[in-house]
Amino acid sequence: MADTGIAARRSAINLLDQVLGEGRLLSECLGAGMLDKLASEDRARAQRLAVETLRGMERADRLLARHLRKTTPLPVHNALRVGTIELVQGAAPHGVVNAMVAIVSKSRRHSHLKGLVNAVLRKIADEVPEAWNKLRVPRLPKWLRSPLVNAWGAEAVAGMERAHFEGAPLDLTLKPGANPHLQDAEILPTGSLRLRAPGQVSTLPGFEAGDWWVQDAAAALPVKVLNPQPGETVLDLCAAPGGKTLQLAAAGADVTALDISETRMGRVRENLERTGLTAQIVTGDALEHDGQYDAVLLDAPCSATGTIRRHPDLPQAKDGSEFGELIELQARMLAHAWALVKPGGRLVYCTCSLLPDEGEVQIEEALGILEGASVDRSVLSLPGVDADWQTEEGGLRLRPDYWPEAGGMDGFYIACVRKAA
């Protein structure tokens, strides 16, 4: 019997129900095992469909609104959204329509709407891709768009939204001395490798040999700013999933990697083993950790608004209500991390956030509070880093709208603070 993709499509719809109806992140759903019963190909397809539907949801909703007189129940509307995205991508209309009708018809509460699903998706099939391409680039929700416009201006935010809509290529950090012969790999100005259509990561040349690890080009810069030296003691706070730990270890530093999540630290161990690198692994609360280090890298818990290219669920599942608590936590972690830095040492603070309150403002306030602290601007002059990315208080601001022709980068804030000897 031919595979109709029913299981993958139904699972994609269920994921959307959780994100849009329950405010759960996709990572939470996947971590809870929502797709565990699917075959590997169906798991990948379900996740891809959910991500691509979230990325193009505004456009899908605008097309669907032309054919819907009443509000449809969320599971039915999500079926229509997934179907629309598949049609836009060129899937066979009869297959998409039949699958979505079959899924809705199996619903006890919504089976009476299968005729509506059939009619609407058939109309959508006649309209795409022309009607789709005439619609504007999907915008961020107002709760996030407004503060970003206030911070960076409407033109910059429009550029970020274009980057979000296009999605993220795969960036890799090479282990020193490795040469995995990756086809079609682009060397970015900062030294990361970028693949536009990588396929399955674990089958790429050099994966099993541990020649590289997945890490966005922006996420690779905090360690370069830290500039670890062989033999230095370095603490990587909030280390999971471990890309920065691997960079520090590869530079020859004596690394202690700490994170509060045992599950996430399991990934760090796996990557260390795969790459043949070593670090001391500690599972615990960063605010309770003790010791003295030559350098501390604090990738603080944050809104993760800089990663929307890869996580389009974030602005749909969240509403910003938790940001105040995060900002307070960041300030406490900064102060505690500072106490762990030896005299004459340095602290690199970073967040994958686009909000100045989680970056520039934190460092501005810290410089007035932390004893013996001064920002080190000199370490920001790195290959591929534009001087215009440096900020007034002495940090580095990265945004998704940078490198638009090359595929953008994650939003990040990075600053290096020196402690007086």
Q: Catalytic residue positions?
A: 352
For 91, the 3-state DSSP assignment is coil
Give the separation between CA 96 and CA 114, rounded to whole angstroms: 13
Please name the residues in contact with 222: beta carbons below 8 A apart, sequence gap of 6 or more: 244, 297, 299, 348, 350, 412, 414
CA dihedral sign of residues 410, 237, 357, 392:
negative
Cα 329-332-333 angle, rounded to 5 deg: 85
CA distance 310 to 43: 17
DSSP letter for 235, please.
E
Exposure string over 17-45, b if 16+ CB within 10 A, otherwise e: bbbbeeebbbeebbeeebbeebeeebbeb
Q: Which residues pair with 349 in a beta bridge?
A: 298, 415
Which pair of structure tokens corresponds to residue 232? 């230095």
Task: Single out the residue of 280, 243, 281, 234 nearest to residue 260, CA to CA.
Answer: 281
> Residue 412: in which H helix or E strand, if any?
strand 412-419
Q: What is the CA radius of gyration of the chain?
A: 23
Q: Contact at 8 Å (CB) between 409 and 398?
A: yes
Residue 49 buriedness (CB in 10 A; 0-12 / 13-18 / 19+): buried
The dihedrals phi and psi of 208, each to the nearest 5 degrees, come to: -65, -30
Distance separating alpha carbons of residues 170 and 199, to the nearest angstrom: 10
Cα 396 to Cα 381: distance, rounded to the nearest angstrom? 10
Nearest to 219 by CA among 319, 285, 331, 302: 302
Q: Are strands 373-375 and 412-419 parallel, antiparallel or unpaired?
A: antiparallel
